[in-house]
Amino acid sequence: MAAPTIVTDLTTVDTAESAIGWLNQANMNPTTDTDAFVEGTSSVGLAFAAANTRYSMIADLGGSTNITGTHIFVWVKVNFAICASFAEGGVRVVVTNDNTGNTTNYGEWAVGGRDIQWCQEGWRLIVVDTSRPFDFVGAGTPPSNMTSIRRIGVSALSSALQMTGNSLNVDVLRYGTKIAITGGTTGDPITLKELVDSDLDPASGVYGIVTKNKAGVFEINGELRIGAESGSTNTVFSSRNELITFADQPAALNYLKIKSQQGTGTTDVKFGTGVGSGDAKVGVNGSVIDRINVVHGREYSLDFSSSINLVEFFGTTVLRAKDGLTFPNATGHEAISSSFVACGQVDLGQALARKNTFSSHGFIDTGSVSIAVTAAAVDTGSITIDVTASTRTFTRTAGGSGSFLTDGFEVGMVVTFSGFTNANNNGRKRITSVTATTIVVEKGLVMVNETGTADERVRTEFAYTRSSGSFVTDGFIKDMSITPSGFSNSGNNRTRIITNVKATQIFTRELTGITAESAGTRTIRSAGATGDGALLWNESINIKSSSFVGISNSVVTAAAIQHPSAASSPYTYDALTFSGNDYDVNNTSTAIDTGSVTITVAASAGTLTRSSGSFSSDGFTAGMTITSSGFTNPGNNFETKTIDTITGGGTIITVTDNSSLVDETGGGDERVQRNITIQNVNDADPSTFKGQPVAFVTASNLLVRVKDTSSNPVEFAQTAIFLNDGTPLMNEDTDSNGEASESTTKSGGAYIRVRKSLTGFTKYIPFSTTGTISGDFTLDVTLQEDTNA
């Protein structure tokens, strides 16, 4: 069993072995707690001495420190039952420029609360992006940036006092960027279990980049790097039959990931195991990878893009990797029998990809529409509201007018109460139930009975609003992470989780940084940096026998395969099947297009001659596949032909195949565009596309099987098929099975030749025959040994 070695740039601020050096910011001194800890033999804790009070513990960096671009890693445990809610700021990570217990000079990021799952489950590593805007600031001078931070800690807002024991504990506190695991061999790879077992030993580092929850699911809490960034260390990582989830952390966008790296040694990353060989190989024992992000809305990626020794995905299911999955752009890697569900774009590079399924890819997107950020989009205005503290109920007074339901309030909304005499009846709270006359809010700060005086108010702080179209119809739903764009105020462009969605309004859970902004052309899209295609087509891709299913969204724009280049057209789709997709192919290659011009066709010569302009200047070159349109004769409006030559100073295209062409004098509205041509073989069935032109043609499989008179396969027999006009359809050596295969979209009479008379090998009498290519073509050839050669 290989215990991984952890390689990191994290700086330990304090191991929390002693309360010495920790400060509070009023209200309660932290003490050393030897009963509760995750690292070493103790933690630092404090007890809530009163309700509705902020408590904090801050550790010393030893001097003003620049923590810009880092994450803070801190272990926290809180008595959730006496803690305020997330909306109220139940648990926070705090930073200050002061080396004192100054009670006002701080900034804080909300990380938990009694309604947040992790707070209910004991110790948790919190990973906070220090570039996030503060959710709360003290009344004094909060840090204006992260360049001169002196103390870091954790704070909490209580909802009751605790008589004995600690309410809030903090253990080892670090900051930094990278945590990598290295080690293992092919026979004894490092695993997540071994990482957790070794790292979470109190006597060990307890970095917590991977933890394990009560259900046995491995949780990744940040960026897990596999392999050595530099140096000669070899690494072999394996995951089999495991459930892996990325935790909901207030991390930076794109930070949650598994990332491979390799120095001068080798790094192997393996999920599952492969059984069999060649195209018959299948993947088994794979793991399942997913994420939870209902609070902070961070998506994850699997980034194996660096040049490492080996990446294997066998029988593995990747769910909702909205930030995408990338393989090295090299051969030697494999993805077999794996499923990529609701992911961002998958880039398999040049990996051997077989029997995979791509489904449910596609982002939800408004497109460019008029969207505003509206303050108080749902608002009672000043009315009379009573408070019943015991049930946390706000009641419109009997006999009063209006309705919370009519106003638009819904369960799940984070709303702001104001106008109440008691301060803790005011502020942000989340609705747990709503009727026409009552709103009940989640547990949190202690409320006080109060009789309304006609100046109370409930409102949502901000909503993204549109005047036409429908967010619901577009497919936006509760708990979806969204990324708005195009707003002038950068805070309005932050990624957030939807709490509620209506046809014309979206409400979010986190509200920091949102500012009212008038309507303008903007976009809201489901979060995740994703290209518009479930699979990115690498020009050297090696994929067969895979399915693209249900890649669709409500605005019917999702695509299965994105082609960013047309350089290698025509492309072969070998047993790639498509079903229920908005588009099977998205051709995003650069447009090469004549526009409407006058083009004359000379059929017998196979030429397209334009009267002005230049095909060459437009970007057309020999070998390109093209589509034509605008001709009177249907035969001249072809889906695809290949440019043989461009002559006449760039004005004449000669195509390789003049069939279907008819003499025609141009009328001024003819057009030629570069396309990508998809040759479908082995029941591949794409049929729809968007973007630049795509031509689908059904190709014939050509197979020649060569054996000797003893029925043994003959390898290295040169095997050729030519159409009678000399067009080559096949010209290659047979493989170890004695087979040569190709695909073609051409048809007609053909001659077939098989020859092997290579010095040093058994020589055979040349074979020749004729046939007709009109569909799949298979020929068995028996070669006679040539004893005279």
Least distance (Å) between residue 738 CB and another protein: 15
| Interface positions with another protein (CB under 8 A) | 718, 720, 722, 726, 728, 731-732, 753, 755-759, 763, 765-766, 768, 786, 788-789
Which of residues 376 and 716 has its CB atom nearest to another protein in the complex? Answer: 716
Least distance (Å) between residue 707 CB and another protein: 17
Which of residues 617 and 768 has its CB atom nearest to another protein in the complex? Answer: 768
Which of residues 637 and 718 has its CB atom nearest to another protein in the complex? Answer: 718
Least distance (Å) between residue 754 CB and another protein: 9
Q: Are strands 317-319 and 288-291 parallel, antiparallel or unpaired?
A: parallel
Least distance (Å) between residue 731 CB and another protein: 5
Which of residues 515 and 731 has its CB atom nearest to another protein in the complex? Answer: 731
Phi, psi dihedral angles at 223 (to 5 degrees): -100, 105
CA atoms within 13 A on the CB side of 481: 21
Which of residues 240 and 753 has its CB atom nearest to another protein in the complex? Answer: 753
Least distance (Å) between residue 548 CB and another protein: 36
Least distance (Å) between residue 748 CB and another protein: 16
Which residues does 788 contact at the CB level (< 8 Å), separation at least 6?
Answer: none
Question: What is the C-alpha to C-alpha distance for residues 679 and 659, in angstroms, rounded to an integer?
Answer: 18
Least distance (Å) between residue 787 CB and another protein: 8
Which of residues 104 and 718 has its CB atom nearest to another protein in the complex? Answer: 718
Helix H or strand E segment including 373: strand 369-375
Least distance (Å) between residue 337 CB and another protein: 36
How crowded is residue 307: how many other Cβ atoms within 10 Å of its Cβ? Answer: 12
Least distance (Å) between residue 556 CB and another protein: 48
Question: What is the C-alpha to C-alpha distance for residues 443 and 88, in angstroms, rounded to an integer?
Answer: 10
Cross-strand pairs, 208: none
Q: What is the largest CA-CA distance in the chain?
A: 114
Least distance (Å) between residue 752 CB and another protein: 10
Alpha carbon 31 to its chain centroid, in Å, reads 43
Which of residues 7 and 740 has its CB atom nearest to another protein in the complex? Answer: 740
Least distance (Å) between residue 760 CB and another protein: 10
Which of residues 298 and 707 has its CB atom nearest to another protein in the complex? Answer: 707
* Three-state SS at 508: strand
Structural tokens at position 175: 């900051």
Which of residues 177 and 741 has its CB atom nearest to another protein in the complex? Answer: 741
- For the stretch 388-393, contacts whose Cβ atoms lie closer than 8 Å and that sit 24 or more positions apart, written own/partner, are 388/449, 389/446, 389/447, 389/448, 389/449, 389/450, 390/449, 391/440, 392/440, 392/441, 392/442, 392/443, 392/447, 393/438, 393/439, 393/440
Structural tokens at position 76: 């926290």
Least distance (Å) between residue 770 CB and another protein: 13
Question: What is the C-alpha to C-alpha distance for residues 385 and 780, in angstroms, rounded to an integer?
Answer: 89
- 630, 673 in Cβ contact below 8 A? no
Q: What share of the chain is helix, strand, coil (3-state, %, to 5)?
A: 5, 45, 50
Question: What is the C-alpha to C-alpha distance for residues 426 and 52, in angstroms, rounded to an integer?
Answer: 12
Which of residues 35 and 733 has its CB atom nearest to another protein in the complex? Answer: 733
Q: Are strands 505-508 and 462-466 parallel, antiparallel or unpaired?
A: antiparallel
Which of residues 700 and 734 has its CB atom nearest to another protein in the complex? Answer: 734
Phi, psi dihedral angles at 68 (to 5 degrees): -60, 135
CA atoms within 13 A on the CB side of 505: 18
Which of residues 613 and 766 has its CB atom nearest to another protein in the complex? Answer: 766
Return the closest-CA partner of residue 764 out of 754, 777, 751, 750: 754
Question: What is the C-alpha to C-alpha distance for residues 567 and 612, in angstroms, rounded to an integer?
Answer: 26
